[in-house]
Amino acid sequence: MDDSYRFVFFMKSRNFTYWLFQLCGWGMFALINIFFAYSFDKLGTQEDRNVFYGRLVIFVSSGFVFTHLMRYVIIGMNVLQKKLERQLLQFLLVTLVFAVIASTLDNLLLMQFDLQNKTEREFKDSLLLLTLSGAFYFFLYFFIWNLIYFMFHFITKSRRQQLDTLKLESMVKELELKTIKAHINPHFIFNALNSIRALIDENPGRARNAITELSNILRSSMQTEKVEAVPFEKELNIVKDYLALENMRFEDRLKVEYEIDEDTLDQPVPPMMLQTLVENAIKHGINKQISGGKVKIISDFKDDYHELAVQNTGKLNGSFKEDGFGLPSTLNRLSLLYGEKAKFNIKQITPEMVEAKILLPL
């Protein structure tokens, strides 16, 4: 459903609700008056019944018409969009004006059809007194009508604002995630290309194989950008391809170990997140060791979490939040996707090994 059809449907829905309230409200008013008139035995004679039903029809018709006209005035004056104090003041003013007009018309119609009671007949020549008397009742009923109308729109507006706020937060979250991914993927591409460049002169055949491998990784990477989570097995395969490329560059200087619980392969994980940890381990760990080192990838269940850890040979210098480790995007993604439920930490676990660990809630 496009925006134009959605708007038309919304307007039709609102109009239907308005007319339903109008008919039910004034219908209930008429039924209550009839109920009490019969309960207190005020319709003893045919004349009494004629006067009662005539007055009731005129009053309900006047109320129905004038409340509908009030709605147009309220919309035309844009009352509902103004500050609360201005809204209340203008509601009272509109209610008072329409109450006086409705009472005047009501009394003119009662005189025209000779439907006044004995008390009113005594003041028949004083339309002003009758108008002021009737205006009080019209003001009371119109005030209740406006109060319901005001509350309905106030609640509707509040709900709409809440929905708009949620949509805005969702859009901001989506944009932030896309921005973070845009930073991750180029970083991965440049690292892979540097690995291939190092092989071109030394071993062209292996370089060609590496280009094919890279194209497979890029194809998978482009697909993962469309989702917020992928099976861990798919993410692990991308990492294995990446490490295969890096292994061509480091050769015997890079050793890779896997400690994977097979039950975790189906677990959803954010795409490219493990890849980021592995890149960080290569760049800031293995790359700085003259004799190379080891990268170990761990996936297991721990309490109510899926534990992902990347261990690498190296020394931890400074905080993982600093640019030197290039991991703030990991923190941001975890915060956006899981709030405070996910955990991330990087520490020196032995004098020779650093561990970056992510705990994803199950």
Q: Which segments of 37-190 are extended strands (E)? A: none
Question: What kind and span of H or E run contains 269?
Answer: strand 268-269
Residue 75 CB-density burial (10 A; 0-12 exposed, 13-18 middle, 19+ buried): exposed
CATH superfamily, region 201-361: Histidine kinase-like ATPase, C-terminal domain (3.30.565.10)
Bigger pLDDT: 255 or 194? 255
CB 230 within 8 A of CB 268: yes
- Number of other CB atoms surrounding residue 353 within 10 Å: 18
More confident of the two residues 231 and 123: 231
User: What angle separates helix 328-338 from helix 273-284, to the nearest 10 degrees?
Assistant: 160
Pick from 216, 217, 210, 341: which is nearest to 271 by CA? 217
Instruction: Check pLDDT > 80 for residue 14.
Output: no
Average pLDDT over residues 77-106: 84
Is the pLDDT reported for residue 325 higher than 50?
no
Stretch 137-148: mean pLDDT, rounded? 87
Q: What is the pLDDT of residue 324?
A: 43
d(CA 187, CA 198): 17
Q: What is the pLDDT of residue 34?
A: 85
Structure confidence at residue 137 (pLDDT): 84
- CA–CA gap between residue 224 and residue 246 (Å, rounded): 22
Given a cut of 90, whether residue 333 has pLDDT beyond it is: no
If pLDDT is split at 50, 70 and 90, which confidence band does 10 have? very low
- Domain edges within the chain: 3-168, 201-361
Which pLDDT does position 296 carry in this prediction? 93
**In the prediction, which pLDDT does 309 show?**
93
- Could you tell me which residue, 1 or 145, shows the higher pLDDT? 145
When mean pLDDT is compared across 25-29, 84-88, 188-192, 232-236, the lowest value belongs to: 188-192
CA angle 276, 277, 278 (to 5 degrees): 90
Per-residue pLDDT band for 322 (boundaries 50, 70, 90) equals very low
Q: Could you give the 3-state DSSP secondary structure of residue 320?
A: coil
What pLDDT, on a 0 to 100 scale, did the predictor assign at position 341?
86
Radius of gyration of the chain (CA): 38
pLDDT band at 169 (very low <50, low <70, confident <90, very high): low
Please state, in angstroms and rounded to a whole number, the distance separating the CA atoms of residues 293 and 74: 76
From residue 134, give the alpha-carbon distance in Å to each of 139, 140, 148: 9, 10, 22
Beta-carbon count within 10 A of 162 CB: 10
| Res 298: pLDDT | 93
**pLDDT attached to residue 188:** 58
Measured between alpha carbons, how far is 125 from 139 in angstroms, rounded to an integer? 23
Return the SS3 of 50: helix
pLDDT recorded at residue 8: 47
Residue 97 has pLDDT above 80, yes or no: yes
For residue 316, the model assigns a pLDDT of 81
User: Tens digits of per-residue pLDDT, 151-162?
Assistant: 887 887 778 777
pLDDT at 89 over 70: yes
> What is the pLDDT confidence band of residue 257, given thresholds at 50, 70 and 90?
very high
Strands of 163-261 (E only): list them. Answer: 230-231, 254-260
Predicted TM-score (pTM) of this structure: 0.50
User: Does position 230 have pLDDT exceeding 70, yes or no?
Assistant: yes
> Does the structure show a pLDDT above 70 at 299?
yes
Determine the pLDDT at residue 145: 87
> Is 307 a residue whose pLDDT tops 60?
yes
> What is the rounded distance in angstroms from the CA atom of residue 307 to the CA atom of residue 349?
16
- Is the pLDDT at 37 greater than 60, yes or no? yes
- Name the average pLDDT for the chain: 78
Classify 199 as helix, strand or coil.
helix
pLDDT band for position 27 (cuts 50, 70, 90): confident
pLDDT in the model for residue 220? 65
| pLDDT at residue 128, rounded to an integer | 64
